[in-house]
A and B are shown apart, each in its own frame.
Chain A
Amino acid sequence: MSIKDRVAIIGVGTTKFGENFEMTYQDMALEAVYEAYQDAGLETKDMDAAWLGTLSPGLTGLEGDAGASLAEPLNFYPRPVTRVSAYCCSGMEAIRNAAFGVASGEYKLVLAVGVEKMREVPPRGSLVARHIHETHPLLSKGRTAPGIFAPIATRYFHQYGYTKETLAKVAVKNHYNGSLNPKAHFRSPITEEAALKAPMVVDPLGLFDCCPTTDGAAAAILTTPEFAQELKKDYILIKGMGLAVTHGYFSMAFQEDNDFLGFKSTREAAAMAYRQAGIKDPRKEIDVAEVHDCFTITELVNYEDLGFCGRGEGGRLIAEGITALNGELPVNTSGGLKSCGHPVGATGVRMVADVVSQLRGRSGKRQLKKVDIGLTHTLGGPGSIACVFVLGRP
């Protein structure tokens, strides 16, 4: 039995993404959830269970280490709250598990929330420090988050002849989209020249090839399509959900079958989601996509891994404007991780909220004309886990 059309999303909420110095972890969780409540016309007493996605509780006094960090601000007691963690897929993984909770028949209304507080410490004290200080003492030591993706850019350039200018086009597109998104971390358009001139972070990735260190939270309320209809909400249906784990954490770069030109995890997760949703030609059938652009190169290989184009054609897709806001298949109309920022646990839920808004025609200046099918994609760790959802209107 497929998951297709068995779970509906009836409300979404997102905090402002940015350096939320004035908000605690719990404040952000609360803000996102109450916005989703307002959207759905529901409240805490209506909920049966919740899932909480957070990657790194260590960045803020272990908040997010367990479901209690969500139950406490909402006074959600004594209902079950499950914390999930799957690297950068943590947010989508919270939704995926919440969806199974509904599909199983056990729960009618559930919350899926993603929260990450990264700016209680300086940017270099966050995920950078986590890679440097908390990983295996020896294996892969020297790798940082941009260091995971930079060697892909090196190999990608070598293999297909692209240059940093291709990467800059991704940054320019996503910064432009972000400039139209009131909740994005970065709201200024940039030029290709500025992107190319920026200092190197992990060569060949420069500053504008990297997403920032950001605070944020996002929430979604899930229920059965039957109950969604009862509530007469402009709900959105889950058409397919794939999660693929294809490698380990420290050893992925040691794997000889890893060609450093894309991610098997994305290809596998997309295959699962497409099979469930009945997608045969993603380029034609998908109207809008939020994909994991933690770094500009990642967006290019995502195009290929998600089947938007053939291997090696990602650079051409961006150059031809196919994925621009006014293109044939707009990607990251929110501004992506590049402009919204990447509060890890929140990102996947934020993506779902953005695609749900596009499908409901509520994306303001970024609203696309014809949107029936949308896609979200997150990629986690060294690229060893990927999650892909296909969402659609009833």
Chain B
Amino acid sequence: MVGITSYGAYIPKYRLARDVIAKAWGPRFISGERAVANYDEDSLTMATEAALNCLQGRDPKSVDGLIFASTTSPYLEKQASTLVATAADLPAEIFTADQLSSLRAGTAALKSAMDAVKGGSSKNILITAADSRRAEPGSDSEQLIGDGAAAVMVGSTGVAASIEGTYSVSEEFLDAWRKQDDAFLQKGDSAFIQTYGYARIVQNCVEGILKKYEMKTGDISKFIFSAPDSRIYARLAKTLHLPPGSFMEDPLLTTVGDTGAAGPLMLLVAVLEKAQPGERILLCSYGAGNSDAFLLQVTPEAERLRERQGVSFYQNIKRPLTNYEKFLKFQNTLPHEPLAPFSSWALLWKEQKQNLRLYGTRCKKCGTFAFPRRRVCQKCHAKDEYEEAKLPRQGKVYTFAKDHLFPSPDPPTVMAVTDMDGGGRFYGQLTDGDPNQVKIGMPVELTFRRFHQGDGFYNYFWKLRPRE
């Protein structure tokens, strides 16, 4: 049996009420709010968060593949999955790949992972999908889009939802696109694409998989579709004659937004969080004429994953972004000089086990732990007699300061000294928090973020954030 053995999700903390956008531009297309990646987040960091949540309680060494799925990878040339895998402390001897440029990239990754596990070339493949698309200010897409990530582990032991069947449709169709140099999402004629694009192709794919496996609508407990817009989503459910309760009334659109390539997997995670053993799920993605459908069946193992940090966990963790201009700055829509201090890949390459994987040293003679790493023990002076040991990711603030000098789109920059639970100390930026709420003793945890563009590349490192 091959299927989903674990899952996790991530939704950035900032939420922008659509009213705030409407206040700047006029009509509101959809109610509620959308999730907004903080200025130090991108698809790579969000995918890392989701991956870490998916890995919770699992040995990273058991993973032998990682696929990153997105339409907004930070680099056009430079694979993102390698860095996600490194930050997640997966072994170096694994297969990694990026599945890019399609809104069904997440399900494309799911399909290839399933095939690899079925074929026996891999045992456990982690798929992590994230998107953070930009729309032109004032466009309806600006309101519809949201940022988020989801991760699923595909394997054959401890399967919580088995994959019983798949079906795909691939038809050349152009409804939404971004060319190499387009800053914003482009869209075709809405009446045309609604009728001949999404609705028709998803319908074909759903009917196709049901027919292939000789099933009827009534055999499925939950239908999950990509949902680029609440109206056409509702219309599709009607066309398919889905009974009420067999699909999500609000596919995260009023709380998170359309999370692009991450969308189908985020919805899958949201459904799995509540699914009962025996239930059948039909998952169907859509991206520019392509659609992948999966038939899944929930097993009793699903109960084991209930406590995971998934969609419902993050839906409750939010901080309102009340300022539209700040949103534009977070999105990099407002032009500004990027922060590009000294950096050197030659330096960072040497230090990646420390800076990306968070390993310090533990003296073999006296047990003293050091982060950053020390070749000579701080206590007993033993030289090069250490073992590598991980810095814990959670701790409590020992002291802090709020810096108004350090350049940031979200000042002040809170710098916190943190004693980690289980030993070690970390000093760094505290993100996602209200500077006025920071206190000595406050529980915090490390989160992987984009730091700056020193030496012309994206520098990633860990920051602290309030622990929920």
Give the nearest-CB partner of B440 in chain A.
A158
In B389-406, the 8 Å CB interface with A consists of 398-406
Question: Are B401 and A154 in contact, CB atoms less than 8 angstroms apart?
Answer: yes
Question: Are B341 and A134 in contact, CB atoms less than 8 angstroms apart?
Answer: yes
Question: Are A203 and B401 in contact, CB atoms less than 8 angstroms apart?
Answer: yes
- B339 surroundings in chain A (CB, below 8 A): 132
Contact with A along B392-430 (1 / 0, CB 8 A): 000000111111111100001101110100011111110
* Contacts known (A135-B341, A138-B461); A202 close to B454, Cβ less than 8 A: no
> Most chain-A CB neighbours within 10 Å: which of B355, B371, B403, B440?
B403
Question: Are B440 and A155 in contact, CB atoms less than 8 angstroms apart?
Answer: yes
Give the nearest-CB partner of B412 in chain A.
A203
* Contacts known (A256-B419, A260-B417); A139 close to B402, Cβ less than 8 A: no
What's the minimum C-beta distance from B38 to chain A, rounded to whole angstroms? Answer: 15
What's the minimum C-beta distance from B214 to chain A, rounded to whole angstroms? Answer: 56
- B342 surroundings in chain A (CB, below 8 A): 133-135, 137
- A132 surroundings in chain B (CB, below 8 A): 339, 341, 405-407
Bound form: Cα–Cα A256–B372 in Å: 12
Question: Are B399 and A151 in contact, CB atoms less than 8 angstroms apart?
Answer: yes
Q: In this assembly, does B76 line the interface, its C-beta being within 8 Å of a C-beta of chain A?
A: no
Bound form: Cα–Cα A146–B405 in Å: 9
- A200 surroundings in chain B (CB, below 8 A): 402, 404, 412
Question: Are B426 and A254 in contact, CB atoms less than 8 angstroms apart?
Answer: yes
Bound form: Cα–Cα A251–B375 in Å: 14
Give the nearest-CB partner of B413 in chain A.
A142
Q: In this assembly, does B344 line the interface, its C-beta being within 8 Å of a C-beta of chain A?
A: yes
Bound form: Cα–Cα A146–B399 in Å: 14
In-complex Cβ contact of A202 among B343, B399, B401 (8 A): B401
Q: In this assembly, does B366 line the interface, its C-beta being within 8 Å of a C-beta of chain A?
A: no
Chain A residues within 8 Å of chain B by Cβ, number: 37
Question: Are B347 and A150 in contact, CB atoms less than 8 angstroms apart?
Answer: no
- A124 surroundings in chain B (CB, below 8 A): 405
- B347 surroundings in chain A (CB, below 8 A): 137
Question: Are A150 and B401 in contact, CB atoms less than 8 angstroms apart?
Answer: yes
Give the nearest-CB partner of B428 in chain A.
A142
What's the minimum C-beta distance from A145 to chain B, rounded to whole angstroms? Answer: 8
Q: In this assembly, does A322 line the interface, its C-beta being within 8 Å of a C-beta of chain B?
A: no
Bound form: Cα–Cα A217–B70 in Å: 57
Bound form: Cα–Cα A150–B372 in Å: 22
* Contacts known (A138-B451, A138-B459, A151-B415); A251 close to B401, Cβ less than 8 A: no
Q: In this assembly, does B334 line the interface, its C-beta being within 8 Å of a C-beta of chain A?
A: no
Bound form: Cα–Cα A182–B399 in Å: 39
In A196-246, the 8 Å CB interface with B consists of 199-205
- B440 surroundings in chain A (CB, below 8 A): 154-155, 158
Question: Are B406 and A152 in contact, CB atoms less than 8 angstroms apart?
Answer: no
Question: Are B425 and A203 in contact, CB atoms less than 8 angstroms apart?
Answer: no
Q: In this assembly, does B348 line the interface, its C-beta being within 8 Å of a C-beta of chain A?
A: yes
Bound form: Cα–Cα A137–B355 in Å: 10
Question: Are A254 and B425 in contact, CB atoms less than 8 angstroms apart?
Answer: yes
Q: In this assembly, does A69 line the interface, its C-beta being within 8 Å of a C-beta of chain B?
A: no
Q: In this assembly, does A76 line the interface, its C-beta being within 8 Å of a C-beta of chain B?
A: no
* Contacts known (A151-B401, A254-B425); A142 close to B343, Cβ less than 8 A: no
Q: Tally A-B pairs: CB < 8 A.
A: 119
Q: In this assembly, does A144 line the interface, its C-beta being within 8 Å of a C-beta of chain B?
A: yes
Question: Are B427 and A253 in contact, CB atoms less than 8 angstroms apart?
Answer: yes
* Contacts known (A132-B341, A151-B400); A141 close to B425, Cβ less than 8 A: no
Question: Are A250 and B372 in contact, CB atoms less than 8 angstroms apart?
Answer: yes
Bound form: Cα–Cα A153–B454 in Å: 31
- A154 surroundings in chain B (CB, below 8 A): 399-401, 440
Bound form: Cα–Cα A144–B427 in Å: 13
Q: In this assembly, does A2 line the interface, its C-beta being within 8 Å of a C-beta of chain B?
A: no
Q: In this assembly, does A143 line the interface, its C-beta being within 8 Å of a C-beta of chain B?
A: yes
Q: In this assembly, does A104 line the interface, its C-beta being within 8 Å of a C-beta of chain B?
A: no
Q: In this assembly, does A367 line the interface, its C-beta being within 8 Å of a C-beta of chain B?
A: no
Bound form: Cα–Cα A158–B339 in Å: 33
Bound form: Cα–Cα A99–B339 in Å: 44
* Contacts known (A202-B403, A203-B412, A254-B371); A142 close to B429, Cβ less than 8 A: yes
Question: Are A255 and B425 in contact, CB atoms less than 8 angstroms apart?
Answer: yes
Q: In this assembly, does A363 line the interface, its C-beta being within 8 Å of a C-beta of chain B?
A: no
Bound form: Cα–Cα A144–B341 in Å: 13
Bound form: Cα–Cα A250–B374 in Å: 13
Question: Are A144 and B428 in contact, CB atoms less than 8 angstroms apart?
Answer: no
Contact with A along B425-464 (1 / 0, CB 8 A): 1111100000100001000000000011011000101000
Contact with A along B56-98 (1 / 0, CB 8 A): 0000000000000000000000000000000000000000000
Bound form: Cα–Cα A146–B404 in Å: 10
In A121-168, the 8 Å CB interface with B consists of 124, 128, 132-135, 137-144, 146-147, 150-155, 158
* Contacts known (A158-B440, A203-B412); A142 close to B341, Cβ less than 8 A: no
- A202 surroundings in chain B (CB, below 8 A): 401-405, 412
Bound form: Cα–Cα A270–B21 in Å: 60
Bound form: Cα–Cα A150–B403 in Å: 9
Further contacts, 16 of them, CB under 8 A, given A143-B415, A146-B401, A147-B405: A124-B405, A132-B339, A135-B342, A137-B344, A137-B347, A137-B454, A138-B461, A141-B341, A143-B427, A150-B403, A151-B400, A154-B401, A155-B399, A201-B404, A254-B425, A255-B378
List 5 interface pairs A-B (beta carbons < 8 Å), by A numbering: A132-B405, A158-B440, A200-B402, A203-B402, A255-B425
